[in-house]
Amino acid sequence: MTVENVVDHPPHAAWLPDAAFTAVGRRRVAVLAPDVSGPGARIPAPGPDRSREVLATLHHEVAAATAAHGGAVVGQDEAPDLLLTLLPGPAHPGPPHPGSAPTPPPSPAPARSGFRVVRDDGRVTVSATGPTALLHGFFHVVRQGEDAFTGPDTDETHAPAQALRVLDHWDNVDVHAVMGQVERGYAGGSIFYDDGRVRDDLSRVTAYARLLAAVGIDRVCINNVNVHAREARLLTDDLAEVARIAAALRPYGVRTHLAVSFAAPMTLGGLPTSDPLDDDVRAWWRAAADRVWATIGDFGGFVVKADSEGQPGPFAYGCDHADGANLLAAAVAPHGGVVHWRAFVYDHTQDWRDRSTDRARAAYDHFAPLDGRFADNVVVQVKHGPLDFQTREAVSPVLAAMPRTRLALELQVTQEYTGQQRHACYLGPWWSENLAFRPWGDDGARVADVVAGRGPGPGGGIAAVSNVGDDRFWTGHPLAQANLYAFGRLAWDPALDAADVLDEWVSLTFPGDDGTVDVRVREVLHAVLDDSWHTYESYTAPLGVGFMVRPGHHYGPDVDGYEYTPWGTYHFADRDGIGVDRTRATGTGFTGQYPAPWRDVYESLETCPDELLLFFHHVPWTHVLHSGVTVAQHVYDTHFAGVERVRETVAAWESLAGLVPGDVDTRVRERLAEQLRSATEWRDQLNTYVWRKSGVADAHGRTIY
């Protein structure tokens, strides 16, 4: 990749530059798929034939790669280096029902969503029973590069751990007066909408779907969970426009979901109520779903934020979340659709003087009692932590509390609380920690198992808020592309090591003209990103206490910014100490929402991990951590060190001058300069705040203002 071709070809290629196809493109490749047309068939015919379209895409990708790099498209009997073959499977199956077993059967027959890779004396055969799975298999080979063809003989099957892997877009059709075009978006406008309508040119959406296919994501919810009046109409009046977006996503096997408003029967349907038990309401939703599927045959389902932060919900009718979710589930069930129902429910009009309410408790208190009452095609979507996507918080106990409910883990790729794509913060390690957490202790299932249906419950997969916009680099900060990449890969296989995933991303994104990455570039990108989440944590809110961000936009420090607000996010710092007492013994009792051993590990000051200390306990500034320093000294030490690490990051990146494309370099430098400024501001505000409040002097006498 040269500077010139990047400048000439916006948008940025992300992890699919031409050079990433070097190894495959040099080979002789055959595609064996019965009854499929060529690339010309990519434009959807009336009544879209999903399989045909995806296979056409595969043909097209193979043809483009081989054309670019000197290989050839050949017949299966012409001794191809790579054979991509669609095996006979269920004819025209509907979308996979979430109830289907996500565990792939043993080799050699892959599950419909998986693929098999056989390498025999340097010749590779990828087979699958579904076109999208075969496309995923193709990108698997692309990802492996030369290694795909040069390794020892092998026979592997690959299937996604999570049957449902969704990216949620908080995109608004109309620019929202407060939240803008994309709520919590830090990468420009929406790729779907421009100021009030679906874009005419959706080529960017197809390019996005291609990036997603290359990491195994196959579902996208295209509008904000805060469904405003204009956006609500996507479900009805603007269904034809939604169908255009679905058509743009389809060639790469990506299904479309819609966020809907629980009040839609009233606001769109003119009914006097949205009562989930009302027959007219049920009929309205059934008719609405029928229309959607009649228009978009491979539509995925609905996403709902109900009775949360002002969104309407079933509470208004004396009903609960199970009643609400099941209403929609019944409407979409005939079509194999799924309802993602968010568990992000809490009192956002709390009184800071009220110490009896604890926002961390809210999701469990609302949802755990409903376990077993949700329909099979409802997925309860649970934020990874009990608060709100903080840089560090405990894992949500809801994930261990609903064994009879399909649970999904919700992550946030968009960096609302982790630097807003101005700070380099690679979230792979943080997500890995969440996925690997074992709520029942060392012998129990991991969170990744729970949502995969390999734990005590049926599993609902994984979802995340996308970080993509119409920015030239997709994600504002070019290095934030790594987060989108890592989300896809960890959703497919949560056991992957985050640093290995980053390495894949580097290999794909920064190849030289020969398709390989300069060793210095690889080293520096690891140095910049591998530990960047810990670096970000080190100069922001300490020890799991969370927030301390500027209210509203959530960027930059404001230690007391949320301390006296209705949002339920307090740290209770005074001259003596800081932290939230969430113990059963003396606090809010939140620790009791965990099964053993964590209910006890977190309860005790002796065993509570340092990094979550202030999430679970209120302690004196002079409390000595397991690390051996006081809380106050920890703040000073980590904040001084964090800024130094950012300085090192800046220097490391600058050493790459000339080794990375100029436009990427320029943008990254701009962002790093802002990161250093902002980290310094965080350091100084936090240190000054703690010093002013605690009076504990820095042991090393550094400058605190």
If the CB atoms of residues 105 and 551 are measured against a second copy, the closer one turns out to be 551
| 292-300, 438-446, 625-633, 691-699 -> range binding a second copy (CB under 8 A) | 691-699
Site for a second copy in 669-688 (CB under 8 A): 681, 684-685, 688
| 236-244, 341-349, 399-407, 692-700 -> range binding a second copy (CB under 8 A) | 692-700
Selected from 573, 631, 650, 672, the binder of a second copy by CB under 8 A is 573
Task: List C-alpha distances in Å: 255 to 85, 191, 246, 293, 485.
Answer: 22, 16, 7, 12, 18
If the CB atoms of residues 153 and 574 are measured against a second copy, the closer one turns out to be 574
What distance in Å separates the CA atoms of residue 402 and residue 197, rounded to the nearest whole number? 40
CB of 558 to a second copy, least distance (A): 7
- The values of phi and psi at residue 419, to 5°, are 105, 0
CB of 674 to a second copy, least distance (A): 16
| 4-12, 280-288, 332-340, 571-579 -> range binding a second copy (CB under 8 A) | 571-579
Q: Are strands 123-128 and 115-120 parallel, antiparallel or unpaired?
A: antiparallel
What distance in Å separates the CA atoms of residue 536 and residue 518, rounded to the nearest whole number? 27
523 is catalytic: no
Tokens of 616: 């679970």
What distance in Å separates the CA atoms of residue 204 and residue 419, rounded to the nearest whole number? 25
CB of 691 to a second copy, least distance (A): 8
Instruction: Tell me 540's DSSP state.
Output: S
Q: Would you say 164 and 460 are in contact if contact means Cβ atoms under 8 Å apart? A: yes
3-state secondary structure of 138: helix
If the CB atoms of residues 446 and 683 are measured against a second copy, the closer one turns out to be 683
What is the rounded end-to-end Cα distance, in angstroms, of the chain? 47
Contacts of residue 69, Cβ cutoff 8 Å, sequence gap at least 6: 21, 22, 24, 25, 26
Residue 37 half-sphere exposure toward CB, CA atoms < 13 A: 11
Residue 179 half-sphere exposure toward CB, CA atoms < 13 A: 17
349 binds a second copy (CB under 8 A): no
Selected from 45, 309, 564, 670, the binder of a second copy by CB under 8 A is 564
If the CB atoms of residues 6 and 573 are measured against a second copy, the closer one turns out to be 573
| 129-137, 477-485, 559-567, 667-675 -> range binding a second copy (CB under 8 A) | 559-567
CB of 685 to a second copy, least distance (A): 5
If the CB atoms of residues 347 and 576 are measured against a second copy, the closer one turns out to be 576
Give bridge partners of residue 410 from the DSSP assignment: 383, 463
The DSSP code sequence of 322-336 is HHHHHHHHHHHGGGT
Contacts of residue 340, Cβ cutoff 8 Å, sequence gap at least 6: 166, 221, 257, 301, 302, 303, 304, 379, 381, 408, 460, 463
| 233-241, 386-394, 448-456, 693-701 -> range binding a second copy (CB under 8 A) | 693-701
If the CB atoms of residues 518 and 684 are measured against a second copy, the closer one turns out to be 684
CB of 354 to a second copy, least distance (A): 9
Number of residues forming the site for a second copy (CB under 8 A)? 22
Selected from 8, 40, 514, 575, the binder of a second copy by CB under 8 A is 575
What distance in Å separates the CA atoms of residue 489 and residue 479, rounded to the nearest whole number? 16
For residue 109, give the nearest of 138, 83, 135, 130 by alpha carbon.
Answer: 130
Q: Choosing from 416, 449, 537, 611, which is the catalytic residue?
A: 416
What distance in Å separates the CA atoms of residue 115 and residue 3, rounded to the nearest whole number? 36
| 112-120, 380-388, 538-546, 689-697 -> range binding a second copy (CB under 8 A) | 689-697
78 is catalytic: no
Selected from 513, 574, 600, 648, the binder of a second copy by CB under 8 A is 574
Selected from 9, 404, 692, 702, the binder of a second copy by CB under 8 A is 692
Q: Choosing from 309, 574, 648, 654, which is the catalytic residue?
A: 309
558 binds a second copy (CB under 8 A): yes
3-state secondary structure of 146: coil
Selected from 102, 189, 557, 568, the binder of a second copy by CB under 8 A is 557
168 is catalytic: no
Q: Choosing from 171, 388, 470, 665, which is the catalytic residue?
A: 388
Task: Please give the positions annotated as active site.
Answer: 309, 388, 416
Which residues of the chain form contacts with a second copy (CB under 8 A)? 352-353, 557-561, 564, 573-576, 681, 684-685, 688, 691-695, 705
